[in-house]
Structure formats: C-alpha cells, structure tokens
Amino acid sequence: MASAVPMLEFFAADGAVAQMEATLQAASGAERLPALIELAWHLRERDSSRALGLCGDAEQVLDGGVWPDAVLRSGHARLRLIRGCISVQQTEMDDAVRSAQQALAEFEALDDEIGRADAHFLRALIARGQGDGPRSDAEHQAMAAAAAGLDPLRLELAELGLIYELIFQDVVAAKKSWAHRRLVGAPDYPPLAITATKNIEGLLAGMSGDAGQAILKFIEAHEHALVSGQMVRAAGIAGNISVGFKELNDFEAALEWSQRGLSLTRRCGLRVAIGPALINTGEIFQRLKRYDVARELLQEGMQMLASQAESRNYAMALRNLGELELACGQFDLALEALRRAEQKAIALDAPDLLCQARVGQARALLAAGDPAQAISAAMLALDGRRVGTTLRIAAMQAVAEILSTHPQLLKQAVTALSPALHYLHLALDVAAQVEGYTVPADLLSSLASEYAKAGDHARAYDFSLQAAEAREKTHSQDASKRAIALQVQHQTERAQAEGEKQRLLALAHADRAATLEQANFTLEQLGAIGRDITGNLEATAIIAALDSHVHALLDAFAFVVFRLEIDGQTLRTVFGVEDGVTLPQRVTRLDSSEGRVPLCARERREIVVNVDPSGADGMFVAGTAATQSLMYAPLMVGERLLGVMTIQSQRPQAYGEREVAIFRTLCAYGAIALANAEAQAQLIQSEKMASLGQLVANVAHEINTPIGAIKSSGATIVESLSDTLAGLPPLLQMLDAPSQALFGDLIEQASRASPLLSSREERAVVKGLTAALEQAGLADARALAAMLGQMGLTTVPAALLPLLRHPLRERILQAVQGVSTVVRSASNINTAVERVAKIVFALKSFSRVDNSGELRPTDLVESIETVLTIYQHQLQQGCGLIRRYEPDLPLLPCLPDELNQVWTNLIHNALQAMQHRGVLTISIGREAEALVVSVGDTGCGIPEAIRSRIFEPFFTTKPAGEGSGLGLDIVKKIVEKHRGRIEVQSEVGVGTRFSVILPLA
C-alpha cells in the first residue's frame, strides 16, 4: 500500500533527528512531504510547538499537490496521529480520542499495519490517562498484533507495556511474568526499547525494597529516554528516581530529581507530566513536614490533572492529600480526600492504592472519635488482595490500634489475650513469611504495650527488647540507605563524567569530519537540485528551476541562457535577468570573434573572467550593468552543444574552484533536462499526429454518410422532377377547384418528414390503411394502401376520401408522390449539409491551437461535445452514449486545446476497450472548488497487476503498432499542468472509469 512516508521509526536518536533537519532543508517539491512528516513525528515530544507547525506545512503540501489517493489519505492519517499525541501531552483528551479514532480508521482502510500499531499505542496512552486499565491492555495487545513480523521495536514496546500495566494491578504476577520472560531468554532489545526495560526493572526493584538498585536502573532508563525523544517517559522516570532517593532518606537528591523532571515537562510543554511532577514534589515536602508548601504543590498538581481525574496519578494525589490533612489534624478533609481516593482505586483496580486509602480512612475515623466506622474501614483494607507485605502489615496494625482501645468492636472470639494482640500477631506472622524482611519496630512496640496491658510483663519485656533491636537495625539501615544514596550519586557523577569525556571525543571527531560532511551535504544538495531540474519536461520550467538554484547557490547578479538554434550557428538568448530586470534579447554567431559566449561555445569549456577595475580587459554590453566577475559554461549532452549559460557578479573574485564546480554541475543538469524536454516534445508531437490520423479517419466516416445522402437525394430530385413537371399542368386543368384544394392538402401531408419505420411497423401501417379503405368502400384497397404508406401517411383523413374516389385517382396519386419525393429529398439535402457544417465546425474548434499559454474561461460541456461530434460515427456503430451534465456549471480557466487532447485520448481508449460495443458514460459535475469530468466504459477493465503502471511512459497493453504508450502519460502531464489530478477505477469484465479533477482557481 502506498504511503506518504516510508515506515517511520517509533523513536529516533538525537543524531538521526539532526539528519532529518538537514534532509528537510535540502528537500524541495514532492520530497518535502515525507521529510516534513518524519521530522514532525520525531519532534512530537521533543518540541510539540514546532511539530504542530511542521504538520501545518505538510497539510499545505498535501492539499496543494496532486497525490495518489493512498498517499493523500495516509499522510493526513499520520498527521492526525501526531496531533493526537500532542493532545495527550496537553491533556486535551477529547481531541486526542477523536484524532486516534480517525487515524485508526484510515490506517485500517489503507491496510497500513504500522499505522495501526501506532494508533493503538496512542489509544493505550489515552486509556491509561482515563484510568481504564483493561482497555489499555487491549490496545497494547492490538498494537503487538499489528506490529508482529514488521517492526521488532513496536512489538517489544507493546509487550513491555502490558507488563508495565500489570505491575500496578498485581505486582506478584508482574514479577513472575518478568522472571519467566528472562528465563525463556530475553529478546535482543532494540536500543530504543532499553528505556522501557530499565524502567520496568527499576519499578520491580523499588517494590522489592531495593531503592538503590531501582535508582540505578531508572537513571539508565532516563538517559535513553532523553536521547530517543521520549520526553514524557523521561519526566516520569525522573519522578521515580526522586521517589527512590526519598526512600533512601536523601531528600536533597529527591528534590533535585523532582525539579529536574518538572523543568523538563515545562521546557517541552508536557502538561500531562507537570501534574505528577508537582505531586511528587509535594510528597517530599510532606515528608519534610513542610505541610503548607506540600498542600500548595498537591493542589496545583491536581488542577493540572483535572482532565485526567480517572488516572492513577490523580488517585495518588488524593491519597497524599488525605495523609497530609490527617497529619495536620484536619480529619474531615482527610476523610473526604481518602474516600475519593478509595473510589478511584476501585475503578482503577489498583489494590495497593485501595489498601492505603482504607488504612488512612481508619486512622482518620479513629482520630475523629468514630471507632465503629474506623474498624469497618480497617477490615475492608484487610480484605484487599494482591498487595505487598508492607501494606498488609499496615492494615493489621490499624485494626490492632483500634481494638486496643475498643476491644468490644471485634465480634469474633480470639485465642490471644486481647483482640489487638490477635491482629498484631497476624501481622508478625506475615512479616516472618518474607525472607530477609525486617519487622518494623513500631509493630514490636505495639506488641510489648498490649502484653503489658494484659498483665503478661515477661512477654512485654521480651517484645520491648526486640523493638529496641529493630530500632537499632533500622538506624543501621538508615545509615546504609544514606550510604547507598551516596554510592548512587557517585556512580551517576562518574557516568556523567565518562559521558562528558565521550562527548568531547565526539566533538573532536565531528570537527575532523566537518569538511567532509559539508562536501557530502553539498553533493546531496546538488543531487536533490538535479532531480528537481531534470524532473521538468518543459524548457521554461527547466530554466526557471535553473534560475532559482543558481541564485540560491552562487553570487549571481545576472543570469543569462543562450540556446543554439536549429541552424547550428546562431546563439540566441532565451532567458536573461539582471538584478530582477529582464535583459534585452541578444543574438550572436558561433563564429563571431567578439564576445565570450561564442568562444565558450566553440571551445566547449568554462571561462571565468575577473574584470580589471580600470576596465582595460572588460567588455561592456549595452543595456547591462558593470560587473566584476563573470563565468561562462557550455550546455553539453555528450558531444552535442545545446547552448551557453553565464552568470555575473558585481563582487570581484566571486568565482573560485568551488563555484566553478557547482556551476558546471548545474549546467550539466540543465543540458540533460533540456535534451529530455526536446525528446518529450517530439514524442508528444508523434502522439498528436497519431491522434490526428485517428480523427481524420473518424471525420471521413462521419462526412461520407451525409455526402451519400446528398448525392442520393439529388439524383432522386432530378429523376422525379422531370416526370412530375411534365404531367402536372394537364392534370390540374382536369381537376375542379375543390379537387385541386384536396390535391394540395394531400401533397402537403405527403411532403412532411415522417419517422423511419421497421418492416414490421410498415406492414402494420399498410394493414391499418387497407382496413380503413375497405370500410370506405374503395376498390383495390390493398394496392392503394401500399401507395399511401410510401407517401408517409399512416391514416386516411375523411376529407381526402373524395379525391381517392376521383376517376383520375391513379394520375393524382402519382403526381402527389412525385412532388412529395422532390420536397423530402430537398429536406434531406438541407439536413445533410447542416450535419457536414457541424462536423467541420467541431473539427475547426478541435484543431485550433492557442500558443499564448494563457488560461481561457472554457465551457467543459462544449469542449466535450466538440470531441463527441468527431467520434459520432463510431458512437453510431453499436455504442450507447449516456451524458450526465450538471446544470449551471461555471467556466473553467484552462488551455482548451490541451484539454481537448485529454478528452480525445480518454474517449478513444474507452471505445477501444469496448471494441465499439457497449455504453460510454460522460459525466461533468462540481465537487467543492473543482470540476470533475468522468469518462466511463463497459469494456474489459484493467487488471490490478498493471493498474499502477498505466500512466508510465511507453507502457501499453495494445498490440504492437497500435499504441505508443504515451497517451495516458501525456494526459497525466496536461492534467497536472492544470494543477489537477486523474484517478482511475476499474474492474476486470465490468469496465473502467477515469476521473479528471480540475481546480476552478
């Protein structure tokens, strides 16, 4: 399936993006479209404002050009996808949903699997932002299915996305899935997928309590995210690093990384990541007991997340706000926030958040003096499944804390000394099941306190000792955490120093390669320019392209092109501009001894002139400005000389070795393009002569018919007139006045034009006349009916019966038949002459050539009818014609004679495809600001295997000698010259329809 741009990498490194920038700068014409879309795609997170600007430029290129339908549709779909990604970043979720849906539908219609994969990824991001975990999983699965077998990076990102989502739904299952993935053999991750893998490893390490290892994984992920343009993920990972340092009690480093993430989000305009960064920073200030600052940051973060109120980030913010209000003694506010967090956690299926919200509610309710509601909330927290050890212990401690002062609230019997001890021992059992887990000192202290209340002082003393040991161990662990934090910072700084060293080495290599790179860039630029110049097949367009590129690359105050005329001895200017002013035409002989133009042509070499300021060696041409530097170069194709190009500068020493090489290259491209244009013109002329031959044959057939009618009718008049004129006077003398009047009426009726009848219709008329004559009592009714039928009468008027009973009836009817034959023959001659005149007028209109090149308002219906008139003979030989013309169509500014060639070719091809037996349908209508002409046939159709090649030059399906293969190529070029496009729809065995869309302005 054709696409507006080859398969895009999902993410690209900074170096590749820099190359894309250079490619876009060097691109021109149709090459700009893929360059614009590719760069916009990879700037979608790096620089969303610029990406949107590039999208606008790409849309103008798409809408202003003539593109295949698939390219047009895929280009707009990719642009919608880019805009959708940016809408997610700006938290404009409605726009994002709409863009993702439209893009996905278009990619599915185009059977573009990579486009589908990218659309599903965007929909997964939207689902995550809306807190819909199952839908996010479904979108990641759809992305994996679309990318399978096509792009390993997209496939890995989709599968890693599923594991990432699972971490927050069931951390135990996520660890098993990741371990199994490693066990069966981890894939060879593409470099740009390392960000996702290291992020997952960091999350799992953090949830296992290894904050130091988590930070190292996150830092590696963060670096890869930055260089690959994954700015949203980089900001999120910076927050994870901050959380890691917070767990290590290194709040200074935590704040530094939190601020780094916040700065990144604001620099790149990532509103979607600003809220989480603010909330993370607020949590750090909360841990530092800076409650006012923490509350301000949390509230600002929640405002930023207002459009993502169903997301996990918003639920975490509510939990943090509830804990903050609880610490400040604002129990009602704490309960409100924690209950909202509970509802969000249920909707998100987030067991960890749900447990935290319910434990927080229990503590707030207890502090507010409502132990009954507190125990209910704590018991609900215990019902949670799929939560880690720390959260289950916290829930059991909350239950024990409530039952310590309100034991009556436990309805079930327990074997422990008190209900509080029952739950504290359950918590202790949970802690003991985890290898290497350190029992919290506050849990052991609570056990000691409860045993003391129950009177078991020995056990109380024992647990007091264990609590003291735990506190000592905790202090050691805090010191270890601080040491780990310092170690992580040291490793990070060392990695940064190594990175700086590598950066300096890279800069040194870059300096050494700068000259070579500049040379390569110039060559690439010249290559692109060459494609632009040689892509034209008209001399004026070629010279205009040369003029543009000469001024872009060289100091050219004046630019002149001379062409060698057909005599091989005369050089004449075909283009000359000096400082924006057209120069007068110059003519010089090849053998002239004056001037450098003939010298350059004769010697076929470049000539560079640096004028002496004194003017001693200068040569002034009347009507031009004085110059200091001049360069001349021949236009050569092989050994053939086409002309000379010259540029001039008012700056001294303007043209050195580099400028000569560039000008030589431009001359070579120009010569090739001009030679191609001449060859193309000759081929077009050949095609026009072939078309003219076909038209002459059609006109000959068409004119033969009316000429034959004229000859036949003339002979009939001569034959009938002599006999009729001789017998008419005597007959009139023998008729009385009433009979003469009836005689005149009968002649008038017999002379009227009557429709041609088939044999069956003629027999039916004679039969009806015979019956009428017999009923009137006339003798020999059958013979009389046959004679009246030949005269064109289908009924017998009652007023004529007396004439039919007259004794001279035979002579009367013979005279009437003779006169009516003369009259009708004369009418046939007039009709035939009118037909010939119409054909001659159509041929004259068709053959009129307008060399002015100016667009003229033209009636397309009249243009089509002119061609149909010329083909009328073939249309009458068994081919039906259906016209579907919309009324009141506006005039089209165009080159009428060139469009006539388009209609001629399309109609001729249609008739040939049907073998002149079928239905030709011509439609003309308006669509928006364009007119659409469709030529359809019921012929053999075009096989899909060759349908994409029918517009190629020299490609033909006709037998040898019947087609040049240039017709549709010429048609396409004429249509594109009118800034239009041509489309084809075909089905084998059903027919083909060509549609020409021509803009009105």
Cβ–Cβ < 8 Å for 501, 482: no
Cα–Cα distance, 913 to 937 (Å, whole number): 8
Cα–Cα distance, 216 to 224 (Å, whole number): 13
Axis-axis angle for helices 251-267, 231-247 (nearest 10): 170
Q: Mean pLDDT in the chain?
A: 80
Q: Per-domain residue ranges for the chain?
A: 463-534, 536-685, 708-838, 849-999
Percent of the chain with pLDDT over 90: 21
Cα–Cα distance, 205 to 254 (Å, whole number): 17
Q: In the prediction, which pLDDT does 479 show?
A: 45
Cα–Cα distance, 453 to 1 (Å, whole number): 79
Pairwise pLDDT comparison (227 vs 192), residue with the higher score: 227
Measured CA to CA in angstroms, residue 185 lies from 188, 204, 230, 909 at distances of: 9, 19, 26, 61
Average pLDDT (959-980) is 72
Residue pLDDT, tens place only, 683-716: 655 555 555 555 555 555 556 556 655 655 555 5
- φ, ψ of residue 784 to 5 degrees: the values are -65, -40
End-to-end CA distance of the chain: 31
Is 849-999 assigned to CATH 3.60.40.10? no
Pairwise pLDDT comparison (262 vs 336), residue with the higher score: 336
Average pLDDT (970-993) is 91
Measured CA to CA in angstroms, residue 982 lies from 67, 253, 589, 625 at distances of: 9, 64, 46, 47
Q: In the prediction, which pLDDT does 272 show?
A: 82
Average pLDDT (503-530) is 56
Pairing verdict, β 879-885 and 918-927: parallel
Cα–Cα distance, 795 to 770 (Å, whole number): 10
Average pLDDT (1-15) is 77
Cβ–Cβ < 8 Å for 203, 177: no
Q: Which of 190, 33, 39, 45 has its CA nearest to residue 121?
A: 45
**Tokens encoding 908:** 């001729």
- SS3 at position 962: coil
Pairwise pLDDT comparison (36 vs 437), residue with the higher score: 36
Q: In the prediction, which pLDDT does 638 show?
A: 84
Beta bridge partners of 643: 563, 635
Angle 44-50-53 from CA coordinates, rounded to 5°: 105
Cβ–Cβ < 8 Å for 44, 86: yes
Sheet holding 930-937, edge to edge: 879-885, 918-927, 930-937, 991-999, 981-987
Q: In the prediction, which pLDDT does 769 show?
A: 73
pTM for this entry: 0.46
Pairwise pLDDT comparison (30 vs 710), residue with the higher score: 30
Q: Looking at mean pLDDT, say which of 1-5, 337-341, 736-740 comes out highest.
A: 337-341
Residue pLDDT, tens place only, 90-118: 888 889 999 999 999 999 999 999 999 99
pLDDT band at 434 (very low <50, low <70, confident <90, very high): low
**pLDDT higher than 50, residue 961:** no
Nearby residues of 402 by Cβ (< 8 Å), 6 or more positions away: 362, 366, 371, 374, 375, 378, 409
Cα–Cα distance, 814 to 723 (Å, whole number): 10
DSSP 581: E
Q: In the prediction, which pLDDT does 520 show?
A: 54
Cβ–Cβ < 8 Å for 975, 964: no
Residue pLDDT, tens place only, 53-88: 999 999 998 888 788 888 899 999 999 999 999 998
Total length of the chain: 1001
Residue pLDDT, tens place only, 371-400: 999 888 888 888 756 677 778 888 888 888
Cβ–Cβ < 8 Å for 298, 257: no
Q: In the prediction, which pLDDT does 970 show?
A: 80
Q: In the prediction, which pLDDT does 996 show?
A: 96
Q: In the prediction, which pLDDT does 463 show?
A: 85
pLDDT band at 827 (very low <50, low <70, confident <90, very high): low
Nearby residues of 836 by Cβ (< 8 Å), 6 or more positions away: 703, 706, 707
Pairwise pLDDT comparison (778 vs 40), residue with the higher score: 40
Q: In the prediction, which pLDDT does 962 show?
A: 46
DSSP annotation string for 112-158: -HHHHHHHHHHHHHHHHHTT-HHHHHHHHHHHHHHHTTT-HHHHHHH
Within 13 Å of residue 845, how many CA atoms lie on the same side as its CB? Answer: 20
SS (H, E, C) 876-937: CCCEEEEEEECCCCCCEEECHHHHHHHHHHHHHHHHHHCCCCEEEEEEEEEECCEEEEEEEE
Angle 202-204-205 from CA coordinates, rounded to 5°: 65
Beta bridge partners of 883: 922
pLDDT band at 497 (very low <50, low <70, confident <90, very high): low
Average pLDDT (590-600) is 89
Q: Which of 602, 609, 599, 605 has its CA nearest to residue 648?
A: 609
* Cβ neighbours around 326 below 10 Å, total: 21
Q: In the prediction, which pLDDT does 779 show?
A: 74
Q: In the prediction, which pLDDT does 965 show?
A: 45
Residue 13: burial class (beta carbons within 10 Å; 0-12, 13-18, 19+): middle
**Tokens encoding 831:** 């009709």
**Tokens encoding 272:** 């979607």
Measured CA to CA in angstroms, residue 781 lies from 285, 459, 792 at distances of: 123, 144, 17
Please name the helix (run of DSSP H) or strand (run of DSSP E) that holds residue 215, with its range, or none. helix 211-227
Cβ–Cβ < 8 Å for 635, 670: yes
Q: In the prediction, which pLDDT does 707 show?
A: 62
- φ, ψ of residue 480 to 5 degrees: the values are -65, -40
Q: In the prediction, which pLDDT does 732 show?
A: 67
**pLDDT higher than 90, residue 43:** yes
**Tokens encoding 362:** 């229990």
Cα–Cα distance, 985 to 994 (Å, whole number): 7
Q: Which of 637, 737, 730 has its CA nearest to residue 679?
A: 637
Residue pLDDT, tens place only, 652-684: 888 988 888 889 888 988 888 888 878 766 665
**pLDDT higher than 50, residue 285:** yes
Average pLDDT (893-908) is 88
CATH number for 536-685: choose from 3.30.870.10, 3.50.50.60, 3.20.80.10, 3.30.450.40.
Answer: 3.30.450.40
Cα–Cα distance, 572 to 559 (Å, whole number): 14
Domains 536-685 and 849-999 share a fold: no
Q: In the prediction, which pLDDT does 585 show?
A: 87
